[in-house]
Structures are given as structure tokens and as C-alpha cells.
Structure 1
Amino acid sequence: MALVVGDGVLGAASILALPIAAQRHVVAAAVNFAKLAEADLAGCPIARVNVDAGDEGLELFRADVGNAMEYNALWSEANVRRISEWLRRNAMPSGEGVTKKPVRLLITSLLQSASAAIQKDEVRDLPEELTPKVSPDSVAQLDLALAKWAQDAHEELQQQLDVAFGSRSWRKLSWWKLFWRADDVAMVTSEMIGLYFLPGAEKRIIYLSGRIDEAGVVEGQRQTTVGLGSATKWPTHIPFARHYLQERTVPALQALAQKLVVQSASIASLSSALAGLSYLSAVGAYESGAIAAVGIIFGARRFQQKWDAAREYWEGELREEGRKAIRASEASISAVLEQAGKSQGPSEDRIARLEELRKAKETIRRAEDALVRME
């Protein structure tokens, strides 16, 4: 039970804005009006009280018992008796075996809340019931299509990269041509990645993902697989790997080419300067030329070794990133198909949850029957 108390007209307006009329057995309202008769509030769900009159009556009675008449008049004017009767009527039992209405309302509210929670849980499971099940034959066919895609993707990766690394564009980046083509490294390598890095496999995986979505495999599943069912409906490992290669490896290769050109030119310049100084120091022309030749050959040989090693490493990195992207795409779709194969029937967790809901509904029904008998 609750008693809402206000003061004056503003307090009455605030209380009247609350839905207390339908809950009179549980919630009561009282407003302090010093100069207002009881008849003025006829039909209003608010009880009028006069706190000042009640305080004055109590002070007179405490000062002298002989002021009982004045106390009785002021206490009646305070209208506290109405609040006391409401509290006593709703708090004290009216008979043996009879439950008070506020208690019954509280129990009824709890039972209604529990029933609403159960219905909400059942409605949440309803889409799973309405979702069409995928036939095992469809899952098997999609598994075969996935295996075929993976095989074709690996073959495409090997063949396309062999073509790319044997192309004229890649040969333009030989070490001895790099002196005037160092600035073209980024353009040539980015073009190779865009043209030869699994373009057909990416299109086929999108088509396969469309078949999976059309078969209803993805629908109803909680997507925890990377690249499928999140921002797109197909695995994005291949474009992600392509973006990684273009943004991380290509700038590094470009910077290395420019660095090697500068270092080779610096070594050649230093050796030539040393040869010139040696010639001016009365060293023979042949000896000075030998010094310059040794420096130039050393710089060129160092340039060739480092650049060829970098090219070989970059070729291997492209092949490895391609294999990783293919394996990741295959694993993501395989996980979805495997989950679809397992979800042909209701899971054990769902069966247990439905059994718990059934028991809870039965308990609520028995409680409602008992509450009716208590009335």
C-alpha cells in the first residue's frame, strides 16, 4: 500500500495526474487544504486533510487533558480519521482465510508479469520455427560446390601469378632497369595485384554465396563467421588481402627500390671520386680505373642481390596471401554449411528451454487457480 501526500492546489494537480483512481485499494491520496470543506471535494479521489488543525489539536491535548473537547474538534477538522480508516481497512484482515485485496493485486501483477515474460520468450523462438529447413541434399551440393571453388581458386592463383611474374610489366622492373623505372614500381605492382590476384575466384565466391543465401542456409543463423552475413553476404577475405597487399607491401617495395638506387649511385660516385683522388696522387691510370671499377661493380652487385631477393620475397608473399585468403573464405562458408547441417532439428538447448517454459506456465496456472480459491 502507498499513501501519496500533496500540499495545496499544485500538490492536488500533481496527484490527479497519476493513475490512482483504478488502484484505490492499494494507493490513496491526501492533500493538505487548510480552508476547504469536505463537500468541495465530493467525487474526487483525493482525501482532504488539515495538517495545521491536527498539529494544533495535538499540542492542546498534550498541554492539558482538559482540552479534550477542543482536541476532538480540531482532530475532526483535520480529517485524519479517513486516512486511518483506509489504512486499517486495508491492513487488518477482514476475516479468517480471506486475503486482502492489495495482496491479491500484488500477486496478480506478479503472475501477469511472469506470463508476459514467458510469452515474449515463446515469440522470440517463433521465427526459428517458421524458418524453412534446408534439405540435406542442398547442403551436400553446396559442400561439393565449395570444394570445387577452392580447387579452382588454388589453380587460378598459381596460373595467374605465373602469368603476372612472367609478364613484360614485371620484367620492366629488373634491377638494371630500375635506375630509370624506380618510380614506376608502385604503379606496376598495384596493377598486377588488381589484374591477377584472384579476380575470378572472388566472382565465383560471390555467386556461391548467393546460392547459399537462396537456399536459406544463412537465414535464421546467428552470424559469428567472419566475412559472411555481417556487412556483406559473401566472404571478404580476398578483397581484404588485395587491399593489404596494395596498402602495405607495395609502398615498402617502392621505398626499397628508391633506396637501392640511391645507395648504388652513392657507391659508384664515391668509388669514382676515390679513383680521381688516387689519380691526382700520382697513382697510375690503370690503378685508378681499377678502383672505380671495383666500386661500381660492388654497388651494382649489391643492388642486384638485394633487389632480386626483394622481388622473390614479394612473389612468395603474394602467393601466400592468396592461399590464406582462399583457405579463410573456404573455412567461413564451410562453418555456415556445417551449422546448417546441424540445425535440421531442434537443438538440445532449445528443447530444454521449451520444457522449462512449459513447467513455468503450469506453475503460473496453478498459482492463478489457488488465488481464485483464496477469494
Structure 2
Amino acid sequence: MPPWVAFVPRLSSFLKARGINPISTSFRYRNATVLRLSRLNLRCASTHISPTAINYRPNIPPRNEDIHNALSELGGSAAAYVNISRLQLALRGLATQDAATRIAVLGLNGQLSAQKLARLLLADPLGAEGQWERELGDTSDEDGRALLLRFGDETDARTPSPLYRTLSIPSRILQTHNLEVLVSTLNISAANVGVSSTAENSKDAVLVPKVETTSTKGLPVPYPVHKSLVLGEGIDSAVAYGRFTSDLVDEAGNMIKVAFDLPPTLEESTQAGLSACSMVNVAVGTRSLDKFRESITNSQIYEQGWFRSGMPILSQWLVQDLQPSDPIHPAMKAMIKSIVDDVVVDITKEESRPLSSLTTSTTPQEIAKAVLGHLEDWAEKSHTELRDQLDEAFTSRNWHKLSWWKLFWRVDDVSMITSEILERRWLVDAEKDAIYLAGRMSQAGFPQDVQYTSDEPVQDQPTLPDEIETPKTDVSTEVRQPQPWPSQIATGRAELLDATIPALQALAQRLVLTTFSTTSLSSAISALLYVSVSSFSVFEASAVAALGLTFSLRRMQNLWESSREMWQAETREEGRKTLKHTEDVVRMIIRRSQKPQTVEDDGVQQRMRARESVEKVREALRRM
């Protein structure tokens, strides 16, 4: 008896699992008319979903109306928590009588390995190698786009698409189970995947792969699928996928299958068919398929190599949950249940976020104590800066340029020198540190604007000596808006610049003018006495002029030096008042605020509506 006869029973069961009828006298396909009608129906049910498809209201089968309406309501009430691409795919599947099932074959290390795996899953071992198989294994025809495998004749005209290249494949598996297979890449590796990736993001990346397109300037377009088969090569890809997905495999259930291309074992694979991960060897599977196509006498070699490659497990997973049922097949139910479960998980995370912040945050008393500690440090540094910087400024060369005897040629520099002292020496670092302290308080939740009352300390206005006349202005009825407390230093500096420097400049000019006038008047009187009174000698007349000059210079010296000293004292005092006022305001904020302000959760109603929509979808699923 030939050796291949004993292999016939096992081959028969293997072909049945792949959707091929072994009892048929020949493995020819149906006639051309039936094939064209099948292709037409499949294409109508598997067009790419547009972003506005969720608002489209097709002729929904009566058996699917309840679940379709519940899902549509879920898309409106839980838009912030639902994956719109997957929801659109589910709605489109419920809106047609016989919608195609999308399955993605994604390569971790490139698309070519995924193409070779798709070829093994869809190839007919009893038929000759087709042109589509050679195209899947050809690397020279790659243009960076994904591949969409649909049932049909290889000679069919392919409508160009910017999203993917389309291949028509006369595969019995695609026809029997109404499948579409998207072959693309997941674009992850051990070098570019960070440990911060979350399971929910990776789950969306696997079940909603991004298709690169040139028509949208390289922007990826989501292409949702019902199931995904992820293929990695070697141990490095397994580590990269583990870092990328976290606990994704357990959450996704049977919708995601992971296979790693590893060296084959010496014996047939004994992996469990329900396992989420499996080991395959594409090269061994390809050689086994080629051997069987050379001659049917190599059936035993094919059987051993095929099972060693681990392909039977993937073939079984490919058609699992795709059996026809009323009203929808199990894969569609699993997808809808996954969408609903993801919404519930996202809502739960959103609701638990304020609770986790409360459990990890410190008490209001501890926060207030910490802020007061920072305030005391700031006050000590600021008072030290005020003393040291002003001491240095009032002993500098620029300040000595305003001595009374230099005032005749430096009178126009009074405003410049005094303004420079205030802008560069007066609480510059204290103002910056106050902003940092305000940031700490804002982060802790304390308010930034303060309404002042009569019982609160108010900063006094700067004053000048009696000799300095300040300009009078009308009383303003304008109500000043509350300002954040760090602006007190800037406001104090601005008030000093506006109120004291113009008056000091005016005093210097008036003293110079008065000194020149007094000196000129005394000189004129001295000359008049010398001319009119013959008994007055030149010495006696000059004494009158010298007396006037001395009086005017002495008066100028006394008034100017006194005003300078008073301006120095006023500048120091206003600095201390500003620092004390700022410190009082901070303490008032802490005293008035019993606890830091918390942001009110305004999404409670939205989450309640989303949960109600989830329950409606689950109830519709139970009724089905």
C-alpha cells in the first residue's frame, strides 16, 4: 500500500477545518457567474468606513435595529470614552445582511513576514501556486502601503486606493467565511517602544491598525478590524511586544492572537489551541507546502512539517467564531462586548481619578504649614536683600554723582540715577521669588486674587519731605480690580517711580535755579553799593556778594542732602512695608482658605448617561 494512503483520513479532517470539501470529485471553484455575484456582494459589504459613517442611517435589518440603535446612542453619549473607529465598524456590520469580517495580519518587524504568513493561511495545498502568492512573497513590489486581500479572480480589475493595495484571491477560506485580510505592520521594536505605553493604547493600536497613505501627506488612517494576528520574529520582538502591550492579551480575549517566528521543534507542536500566544515557523510551513505541491506522495513530509511549523493553530484561530448564526456571528458579538467593556473601563478610571488624588494628597493643615515655611524663608531672604542691595546702591559711584556741589551739571541725571536704583536694586530677586511662591500656592489650590477689607493691612502711600511738593490730582472713583498678591512689589516700585522721582527731580532743578538767582541778586546788590556809595570799597562790596553766595549754597546743601537722606529712608521704609504687606496677604489667604480649592467634577452627568447607554447595549445583546 502506498505510504500516502494512511495519510488520507488526517488530510480529510485538515481540509475540512480549512473550509474545503474533500468529498467533491474535484477541487474546482464555482462557475464564473456565481463568482462574480459573490464578489459584488462582498465588495458592497466591505467598503472602507468614512469618518461620517456613524451619522449614516442605512436600511437596517429588523433583527439588528435594537442593537444598532443602542450602539448609536452609545456613540453620542460616550463619545469621550468610546473608540469611534471600532464603533463605526460595528454599526456598519449591523446595517448589512452579510457584512464581511475583517482580520488583520500585522508584522512587528516588517510587512513581508506578515505577507508570507497570510499566504500560508490562505493558500490551497491541493492547487497550483497562484500569481497572488508570488506577489505576496515578492519584495521588489513593495511601496510601503498595506495589502487588502479579498476573494475574487486574480484577473479582476483592482480599483486603486490611497490606503492600501488590493489583491483578489480565489481562496476558499475567504469565500466560505466572508473574510477580508489586511496585511500591514505594527511599527514597534525594542528600540522605539517605551515602558510607559499603556494597555488600552496598545489594544487600540492592534485592533485599529494605522494605514499609512500618501494622499493624506503621510498621516495614518485608522482601519478597524474584528480580529488581529500579530507576528513577531525572534526573542527581541517578543520582548518588544511584551513592553508594548502589558496585559493586553488577557483583556482582548480571542480577538488578538500573537505568534512568534522561532526555530521549529523536532516534534509536532503540542501548543493549546486556545492559548493567546503561539510559536510558528514560516519557513518550515512554506517548505512543507511546496513539498506537497510537488507530489502528493510527499503528504507525510507535509503533515510532519506543517504541524511542526505551528500553522494548524493559526488556521483554526482564523476561522474561529465565524460560524453563521442568527442574527450576528460570535466575532461580531465579541467585538461589541469589547467596545462596551472598554467604555466601562475608561469611565471607571475617570471616576477613580479624583479619589486617587485625594488619597495621595496631604491634608490642608500640612499644606498650609509648608506654605508658611516657604513664606518665612522668602521674607528673611527679601529683607536681607533689601538691606544689602540698598546699602550697596547708596555707596556707589552713581549715587555720589548727585552730591549737592555736583548738582549744577548733574541736575538732569537725577531721574535716571534714582530710577536705575529702584529698577535694579529694589527687591528684584524678592519679586522673582514671590512669583515662585505664588506658583507653589496655586499648585496647592489656594486662590490668587484677594478682596481687601477694612480690617486687613493696607500698604501706606509713599511720602516725601515738606520741601518736596507733590502734584495734586482729583480723587478717582474707579474701583481697582483685585490683583494677584505677587504684584505688590511691582506696584510699590511703580508708585515710588511715579510719586517720588518727579518731585525729587523738580526739587533739584528748583534748588539750582534758586541758588543762581540768589547769587546773581547778591552780586547785583554788591555792584550797586560799590557804585552808589563812595565809602564802600571793593572788599566791602564783595563781602555782600560772598554773603549771598554762601547763603544760597548753604541753603542748597542743607535742602538737597536732607532730601536725599529722606529719599533713601523712604525707599527703605517702602521696601519693608511692601514686604510686610505681601507677607500679611499670604497669611490672610491661608487663614481664609480652610482647605485648598478643588476642581469640581463636571463630567458626572456625562458618565451617568454613558453608563445608561452601556446598559442598553448589553440588554440588546442579551435579547439577541
Q: TM-score, normalised by structure 1?
A: 0.53
> Among 514, 518, 532, which residue is 1:267 paired with?
518
1:160-171 equivalences under 5 Å are 160-171=389-400
**DSSP 3-state at the match of 2:446:** coil
Q: Does 1:224 align with 2:440?
A: no
Q: 1:325 and 1:311 mapped to 2: Cα distance?
A: 21
Change (3 A) 1:308 1:223: closer
Which residue of the other structure, out of 337, 353, 356, is the alignment partner of 2:590? 337
- In structure 2, do the counterparts of structure 1 residues 217 and 277 end up closer, same or farther at CA, with 3 Å as the change threshold? same
In the alignment, is the contact (CA less than 8 A) between 1:217 and 1:337 conserved in 2? yes
Q: 1:279 corresponds to which residue?
A: 530
Give the match's secondary structure for 1:156. helix
2:499 corresponds to which of 234, 248, 263: 248
- How big is the shift at 1:218? 2.8
| CA-CA distance at 1:325 after TM superposition | 0.7
**Amino acid paired to 2:510:** K
Structure-2 separation of matches of 1:255 and 1:183: 10
Equivalent residues of 1:225, 1:336 under 8 A apart: no
The AA in structure 1 aligned to 2:560 is W
Preserved contact between residue 450 and residue 485 of structure 2 (Cα < 8 Å): no
CA distance in 1, matches of 2:530, 2:581: 64
Q: Say if 1:263 and 1:130 are closer, same or farther in 2 by CA, change over 3 A.
A: farther
- Out of 407, 413, 417, the residue aligned to residue 188 of structure 1 is 417
Structure 2 contact 411–509 (Cα < 8 Å) conserved: yes
Whether 2:468 is the aligned partner of 1:215: answer no
Matches of 2:402 and 2:389, distance apart in 1: 18
Return the letter of the residue paired with 1:243.
Answer: A
Does the CA contact (< 8 Å) of 1:276 and 1:288 recur in 2? yes
Amino acid paired to 1:178: L
Deviations 1:293-328 (A, max 9, x none): 111001000000000111011111101111111011
Give structure 2 stretches of 5+ with no counterpart: 1-354, 459-480, 598-624
Asked if the contact 2:450–2:484 (Cα under 8 Å) also holds between the matched residues in 1, the reply is: no
Whether contact under 8 Å (1:236, 1:329) holds in the other structure is no
Following TM superposition, by how much is the alpha carbon of 1:337 offset from its aligned partner in structure 2, in angstroms? Answer: 1.8
Structure 1 match to 2:602:
none
For residue 137 of structure 1, report the CA deviation from its aligned partner.
2.0
| Distance in 1 of aligned mates of 2:362 and 2:486 | 21
Give aligned-pair identity as a percent. Answer: 42
Aligned equivalent of 1:305, options 555, 558, 561? 558
Indicate conservation of the 8 Å contact 1:134/1:344, yes or no.
no
**Cα deviation, residue 236, structure 1:** 1.3
Question: Which residue type is aligned with residue 214 of structure 1?
Answer: Q
Query: What is the total number of aligned residue pairs between the two structures?
Result: 213
The superposition leaves residues 166-187 of structure 1 with CA deviations (integer Å, 9 ceiling, x where unpaired) of 1111100000000011111111
Q: How does 1:40-119 map to 2 (within 5 A)?
A: none
Displacement of 1:217 after TM fit? 2.7
| Structure 2 counterpart of 1:272, one-letter code | S
Residue 289 (structure 1) aligned with residue 542 (structure 2): yes
SS at 1:191's partner residue?
A: helix
Q: Answer 1 or 2: higher relative contact order, Cα 8 Å, separation at least 6.
A: 1
Measure, in 1, the Cα distance between the counterparts of 2:356 and 2:510. Answer: 64
Report the structure, 1 or 2, having the larger helix content: 1
> 1:198: how far off?
0.2
Aligned to 2:430: 201
1:323 and 2:576 are equivalent in the alignment:
yes
SS at match of 1:218: coil
Superposed CA deviations along residues 125-169 of structure 1, whole A, max 9, x for unmatched, are xxxx99967622222111111011111111111111111111111
Report the AA paired with residue 287 of structure 1.
Answer: E
Which whole-Å CA distance do the structure 1 matches of 2:356 and 2:575 have between them? Answer: 40
1:208 to 1:291, Cα distance in 2 relative to 1, 3 A? same
Q: Do 2:485 and 2:585's aligned partners in 1 also have CA atoms closer than 8 Å?
A: no
Does residue 1:143 correspond to 2:340, yes or no? no
Letter in 1 for 2:492: A
What's 1:176 paired with? 405
Contact 1:271 1:295 in 2 (8 A): yes
Counterpart in the other structure of 2:381: 152
**Cα displacement (A) at 1:233:** 4.5
CA-to-partner distance for each residue in 1:255-282, whole Å, 9 max, x for gaps? 0000000000001001111111121122
User: Which secondary structure does the structure 2 equivalent of 1:173 belong to?
Assistant: coil
Instruction: State the one-letter code of the partner of 1:335.
Output: M
1:149/1:205 contact within 8 Å kept: yes
Are the equivalent residues in 2 in contact too, given 1:264–1:299 (CA < 8 A)?
A: yes
Say if 1:134 and 1:216, in contact at 8 Å, map to a contact too. no
SS in 1 for 2:431: helix
The residue identity in structure 2 corresponding to 1:305 is N
Counterparts of 2:595 and 2:482, CA distance in 1: 24
Distance 2:492 2:357 in 1: 35
Amino acid aligned to 1:256: L
Distance change in 2, residues 1:242/1:158 (3 Å): same
Report if the CA contact (8 A) 2:526-2:545 is conserved.
Answer: yes
Q: How far does residue 214 in structure 1 lie from its aligned partner after superposition?
A: 1.0
The CA distance in 1 between the partners of 2:579 and 2:357, in whole Å, is: 31
* Distance in 2 separating the partners of 1:307 and 1:191: 19
SS at match of 2:415: helix
